[in-house]
Structure 1
């Protein structure tokens, strides 16, 4: 996966980068919201979905994470955004009001494995396995996060209709 991260605390940013690169992900790091937005927009000119996910700190210098998310989603509404924030309730309320959608949230502090698992859709794949889906075959297709989530939602609807 190709992941863009914006985090103003350098030690935390380095931990994220090392944990994700250890799992063979390509990581681009930025130290503030303005830099993150500039990197994103430059990459967006090259390809329609430049990053599999953008991880944003909520409070950053030069431009906060909410403003970055708002501008990224205005340019690319299907971009996966994950907020890493100590202010989860505030971030959730802001995301609904300003972005008109709920984005994924991680409550700081969190274990690095939690970030990796969320990015790699571990929870979704576990639910798919419970529905007897052949996970290896799905992963071989290299689906996007949205495709995997949509598959799970569709299978859950089918399962519920059989029960009814």
Structure 2
């Protein structure tokens, strides 16, 4: 059966452009100009996927997403957004959107996202079918289930990476920060002998260590001068904001210590809880070093990028005070910073 796609945007030209491109790839496309019209189509006919703008009259994309997911939780939805709507896009991801794409839309990127979403949908349907016949098919299908599980885990990780990119996008001076911190953290953890499961948990935690910055006002995050004491105290709230965002989600419970404690200091002078030494979770002690390194080697509005040697000297100087000495030793000796 051919895949049917519902395209929702209040700009007719955009609907037509998307429909023409996707029709060339064999999809059947239906267009709607607002959320209410789209909901009528959705309730009337079956669709494999929906592409919806966030900002629309009568019913916006977030409300449409809520209603669609309430009717069909497995429905694949890709949201389209402009830069000012980044927080709404993050909310859409939390509500179950598969992906979001920023305007102006790259049609090749849209096509790739549609392909991946439909592949994921088919995989989930296949896994559901496997479960119905599991007793009869255990031996025959084990390898396929494992591969499907691996792909679904990768899709989950990809969704978290999209969320991490959305966090970094709030501050253009830290674009890519979460990814760099994650890669360096995993290298340190590998040197410390972390198991595969523990490495995977650290990867999610490191990617989302700054998720609380979603709740920090842009004018503070992007302030072109040095923060005053009140602003600095305000920005220190982001670890606890991150905890509040994720604490209701079972999957992220074992990642929360990284998010809460990555600004604790080894001597107990950090925040939010003033933990010291090994009372700070090891994963948080690991993330703290790449986090500080990347901050110092990134250009900021109120200062330029610090020279590498100066940054390495700072890490050495604050070893045992701000940072776990063992983590710093691995970071410097193994040249972890050379990604």
TM-score, normalised to structure 2's length?
0.35
Structure-2 change in CA distance of 1:91 and 1:146 (3 Å): farther
Q: Whose radius of gyration is greater, 1 or 2? A: 2
CA–CA separation in structure 2 for the residues paired with 1:68 and 1:155: 27
Q: Tell me what 2:35 maps to.
A: 33
- Of 5, 8, 14 in structure 2, the residue corresponding to residue 6 of structure 1 is 8
CA–CA separation in structure 2 for the residues paired with 1:54 and 1:37: 11
Please list every run of 5 or more consecutive structure 1 residues that lacks an aligned counterpart in the other structure.
44-49, 125-138
Alpha-carbon deviations, 1:44-71, whole Å to 9, x = none?
A: xxxxxx2111110001111101111100
* Contact 2:32–2:38, Cα closer than 8 Å, also in 1: yes
- Of 60, 63, 74 in structure 2, the residue corresponding to residue 67 of structure 1 is 63
Q: Tell me what 1:24 maps to.
A: 26
Alpha-carbon deviations, 1:126-161, whole Å to 9, x = none?
A: xxxxxxxxxxxxx8xxx62645975513689xxx67
CA–CA separation in structure 1 for the residues paired with 2:111 and 2:36: 25
- Of 63, 78, 82 in structure 1, the residue corresponding to residue 78 of structure 2 is 82
- Of 92, 96, 120 in structure 2, the residue corresponding to residue 95 of structure 1 is 92
CA–CA separation in structure 2 for the residues paired with 1:105 and 1:120: 14
CA–CA separation in structure 1 for the residues paired with 2:32 and 2:123: 23
- Offset of 1:104 from its aligned partner? 1.2
Structure-2 change in CA distance of 1:117 and 1:82 (3 Å): same
* Contact 1:121–1:145, Cα closer than 8 Å, also in 2: no
Q: Equivalent residue of 2:59, what SS? A: coil
Alpha-carbon deviations, 1:93-117, whole Å to 9, x = none?
A: 32256x2x45410111121111111
CA–CA separation in structure 2 for the residues paired with 1:59 and 1:17: 19
Residues 1:144 and 2:108 aligned together:
no
CA–CA separation in structure 1 for the residues paired with 2:59 and 2:72: 18
- Offset of 1:21 from its aligned partner? 0.4
Structure (1 or 2) with the greater strand fraction: 1
Q: Equivalent residue of 1:62, what SS? A: coil
Please list every run of 5 or more consecutive structure 2 residues that lacks an aligned counterpart in the other structure.
127-147, 156-195, 198-339
CA–CA separation in structure 2 for the residues paired with 1:118 and 1:11: 20
Indicate the RMSD between aligned Cα atoms, in angstroms. Answer: 3.2
- Of 48, 52, 70 in structure 2, the residue corresponding to residue 52 of structure 1 is 48
TM-score, normalised to structure 1's length?
0.70
- Larger RCO: 1 or 2 (CA < 8 Å, sep 6+): 1
Query: Structure 1 runs of 4+ off > 2 angstroms?
Result: 91-97, 145-151, 153-156
Q: Tell me what 1:153 maps to.
A: 152
Structure (1 or 2) with the greater helix fraction: 2
Q: Tell me what 1:104 maps to.
A: 99
